[in-house]
Amino acid sequence: MFMEEVIIELGVGNNKRHKDSIGIDLLEADGVDIVGRAEDILKTFEDDSIDAVYCYHFLEHVDDVEYLIGLIQQKLKWGGIFNIVVPHWSNPYFFSDPTHKTFFGYYTMSYYARDEKSYRNVPSYIRFDSLLLEDVRLVFKVDKSHVLFYPFYLLMGVLVNLTTRGKEIFEFHFAKVIPVYEIQYRLKKE
């Protein structure tokens, strides 16, 4: 079977979101095509051979985020996309899960990829220069027990994400009071 695009989903579990992707997870589940450590499986791919990598609520569980991101940038094709969704550091549920190992905020991926949009200049001592941070979105959600707040959180998401400055200001001044549920990053290999 010949695949036109190679799309990887890491930590996919039962929730494969891209039907043509290769689901990778440490545990066997309905969405998993290959069982094993993401790092070990990614090493088996040729360099510059993957079109896209998606991970939804996976990266916060990884022991060595820097190593994994470096491996992904090595395996991505030029023009390849790396989409990440993780809990934001202000999410109160983040602390409830003892398997969470890394905090994520607005600038986290700016340490790993070139960031040409943010106002703050972060140190580049672990930057992978072939990766460009294309977008960062703060996602506001509430669970069913707080459904009355849903319109407020929906509006917050729209307003905060209108500008880069709005996202930066919100996280710095207000995220401790109004928590952000998750953060989405989009990186591109150039």
Cα–Cα distances (Å) from 182 to 60, 82, 125, 128, 157, in that order, read 11, 17, 26, 23, 11
The pLDDT score that the predictor gives to residue 120 is: 84
Domain positions in the chain are 7-138+185-189
Distances (CA, A) of 98 to 53, 61, 95, 101, 144: 25, 9, 7, 8, 23
Q: pLDDT tens digits, residue range 21-67?
A: 999 999 999 999 999 999 999 999 999 999 999 999 999 999 999 99
pLDDT digits (tens, 9 = 90+) for 7-24: 999 999 998 999 899 999
Structure confidence by residue, pLDDT tens digits, 86-102: 999 999 888 888 999 99
pLDDT at 65: 96
Confidence (pLDDT) at 143: 77
The pTM of this model reads 0.92
Tell whether the model's pLDDT for residue 1 goes beyond 80.
no
- Strands 113-114, 128-139: pairing kind: parallel
Which of 89-93, 177-181, 184-188 has the largest mean confidence? 184-188
Residue 124: per-residue pLDDT: 78
* CATH hierarchy code of domain 7-138+185-189: 3.40.50.150
Q: How is the beta sheet containing 34-35 ordered, strand by strand?
A: 34-35, 22-25, 7-10, 50-56, 76-87, 182-189, 128-139, 113-114
For the stretch 103-142, pLDDT in tens is 999 999 999 999 988 888 888 778 898 999 999 999 998 7
Say what the pLDDT of residue 3 is. Answer: 57
